[in-house]
């Protein structure tokens, strides 16, 4: 008799979960995806309204080989757009390139500020040579490599605004993972002499679907899974998980009660532990201490062809409620009707705080005020045709000092479960990019099915990965 195909239950239909689902389906597994929202995509989902298409903030897909581009085109049934990224920081009434370019960032400052930047950097390097020390916090890491003045101007404000905690309490891991520049000197060298294979911070080109927003990717994955006989069930949030004999024995999700064979989870780590039983007390305590930063996305639908040509603009200063602006038509002109655009403002907050509970109308007024404060556009209220918001509870894992040991306690518990794999940003508490999520999904599929793709057809954007 032929062997029965493996049954794989995937918790969460974000990019990591759907990438796993597609790879499992292609390997012949029976796949069931349980998604709590009304559509797949997770943080990489898109919405439509009266001819507009808009994402949960800006997304860029990094692909490095023609084979991977072809794989995505085949999956989507359309050609990806190749875009040259334009992103800037608005600070002290002027724009700076992002990523930072040393000439633009330093020598466009007043001469006295430039002198302080350079002298502080020299002091920091001298101190590191005389008294080397381990960098514990984000602040330690940046100051030791860029000096106190540059840290205060370009790093401190935005970081503390985004995370809602002092930079001295944020782990140095955050800096080492997300700042590819090694030091101020490294910034200067790389600005003057560009080399091949620069880190992703410098990646100037990215890909984006022509139609359907970034969510077109996971929607296409869902269609393929269902065409292969798999199930993609939305509005099915996991409510409880029973554990015994070192395995996940039963999962309750919406109206589904499942006795799984293999489980791949993208559910936020603290939520997963909270709904599981039995769990050792130290694991529960560690999971409860792992926190996420939330985001309120505010969208303005504007009767104007374009506000700017930036893909996104960072706003570090506290006078702006928004952390970042993005404009959907700059990713694809198909994202809005002719002569119109949609702006997205991202506002980080904590669930239940004043911003989280503020009404849409009040947030929209604050966002319009932010736009006018940038000074490059005169936006009349009559041009704003509509406003909407989306609130995301688990947007960014918070890397506070000491999180590593607490995270290890939880992940070790999961590792010991014989039919369980955790992947993706929320489940691994890792600030990964889109190509990371795809790679994690494919690697998990290979692990649970025992089948590694030999043809390259499931190798979608897994090349040239950077994990920190």
* pLDDT at site 200: 46
Does 276 lie in the same domain as 413?
A: yes
Q: Confirm whether 93 is domain-assigned.
A: no
Out of 381, 397, 413, a domain closes at: 397
* Domain co-membership, 156 together with 33: no
In-domain check, residue 460:
no
- Please give the residue range of the domain that contains residue 55: 46-67+77-85+203-211+292-397
In a domain, 92, yes or no: no
Q: Both 103 and 177 in a single domain?
A: yes
Residues 15 and 138 in one domain: no
CA distance 46 to 54: 6
In a domain, 300, yes or no: yes
CATH number of the domain enclosing 172: 1.10.3110
Counting beta carbons within 10 angstroms of the beta carbon of residue 149, is it exposed (0 to 12), middle (13 to 18) or buried (19 or more)? buried
Coil, strand, or helix at residue 247?
strand
Q: How far is CA 215 from the centre of its chain?
A: 14
Count of domains for the chain:
3
Residues ≥6 apart with Cβ < 8 Å to 24: 6, 8, 10, 31, 230, 445, 448, 449
Which pLDDT value is given to residue 265?
97
Residues 282, 428 within the same domain? yes
In a domain, residue 12? The reply is yes
180 & 245 share domain:
no
Q: What was the pLDDT predicted at 117?
A: 80
For residue 464, the model assigns a pLDDT of 30
Q: Give the pLDDT of residue 454.
A: 42
Is residue 188 domain-shared with residue 108, that is, in the same domain? yes
Q: What is the pLDDT of residue 244?
A: 97
> Looking at the structure, do residues 251 and 154 belong to the same domain, yes or no?
no
Q: What CATH number does the domain containing 243 carry?
A: 3.50.50.60
Q: Are 381 and 413 members of one domain?
A: no
pLDDT attached to residue 175: 80
Residue 1 lies in a domain: no
| Per-10-residue mean pLDDT, the chain, length 468 | 74 97 96 97 96 95 90 94 93 84 69 82 77 86 87 91 95 78 55 48 81 97 97 96 97 93 96 96 97 96 92 94 96 96 96 95 92 80 90 95 96 96 95 91 94 44 29
What single string gives the DSSP state of each residue in 276-305?
A: EES--HHHHHHHHT--EEEEEEEEEEESSS
327 domain residue, yes or no: yes
Domain boundary among 382, 397, 412: 397
Query: d(Cα 154, Cα 109) in Å, to the nearest integer?
Result: 12
Instruction: Answer whether residue 457 is part of any domain.
Output: no
- Tell me, yes or no, whether 35 and 53 share the same domain: no
Same domain, 249 and 118: no
Q: Are 316 and 364 in contact (CB under 8 A)?
A: no
Last residue of a domain, one of 168, 196, 224: 196
Looking at the fold, whether 302 and 392 belong to one and the same domain comes out as yes
């Amino acid at each position: 008799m032929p062997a029965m195909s493996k049954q794989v239950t995937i918790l969460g239909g974000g990019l990591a979960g759907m990438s796993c689902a597609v790879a499992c389906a292609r390997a012949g597994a029976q796949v069931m995806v349980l998604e709590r929202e009304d559509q797949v995509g997770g943080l990489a989902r898109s919405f439509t309204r009266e001819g507009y298409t808009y994402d949960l903030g800006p997304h860029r897909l990094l692909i490095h080989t023609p084979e991977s581009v072809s794989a995505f085109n085949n999956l989507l049934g359309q050609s990806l757009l190749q875009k040259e990224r334009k992103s800037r920081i608005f600070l002290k009434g002027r724009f700076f390139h992002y990523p930072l370019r040393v000439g633009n960032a330093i020598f466009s400052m007043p001469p006295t500020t430039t002198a302080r930047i350079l002298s502080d950097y020299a002091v920091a390097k001298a101190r590191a040579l005389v008294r080397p020390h381990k960098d514990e916090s984000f602040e330690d890491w940046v100051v030791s490599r860029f000096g106190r003045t540059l840290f205060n101007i370009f790093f401190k404000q935005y970081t503390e605004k985004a995370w809602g905690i002092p930079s001295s309490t944020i782990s140095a891991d955050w800096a080492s993972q997300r700042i590819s520049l090694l030091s101020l000197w490294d910034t200067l060298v790389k600005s003057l002499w560009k080399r091949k294979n620069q880190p992703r911070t410098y990646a100037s080109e990215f890909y984006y679907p022509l139609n359907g927003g970034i969510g077109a990717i996971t929607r296409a994955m869902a269609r393929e899974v269902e065409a292969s006989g798999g199930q993609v069930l939305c509005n099915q949030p996991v409510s409880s998980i029973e554990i015994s004999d070192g395995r996940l024995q039963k999962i309750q999700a919406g109206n589904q009660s499942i006795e799984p064979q293999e489980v791949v989870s993208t559910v936020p780590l603290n939520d997963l532990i909270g709904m599981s039983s039995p769990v050792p007390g130290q694991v529960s305590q560690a999971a409860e201490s792992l926190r996420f930063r939330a985001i309120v996305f505010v969208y303005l639908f504007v009767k104007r062809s374009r506000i700017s040509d930036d893909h996104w603009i960072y706003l570090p200063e506290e006078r702006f409620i928004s952390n970042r602006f993005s404009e959907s038509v700059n990713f694809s002109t198909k994202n809005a009707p002719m002569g119109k655009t949609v702006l997205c403002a991202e506002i980080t907050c904590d669930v239940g705080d004043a911003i989280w509970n503020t009404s849409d109308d009040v947030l929209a007024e604050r966002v319009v005020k932010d736009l006018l404060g940038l000074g490059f556009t005169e936006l009349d209220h009559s041009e704003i045709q509509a406003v909407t918001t989306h609130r995301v509870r688990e947007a960014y894992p918070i890397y506070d000092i000491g999180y590593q040991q607490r995270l290890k306690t939880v992940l070790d518990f999961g590792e010991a479960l014989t039919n369980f794999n955790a992947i993706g940003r929320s489940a691994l508490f890792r600030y990964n990019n889109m190509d990371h999520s795809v790679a994690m999904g494919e690697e998990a599929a290979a692990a649970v099915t025992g089948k590694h793709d030999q043809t390259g057809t499931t190798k979608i954007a897994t090349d040239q990965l950077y994990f920190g």
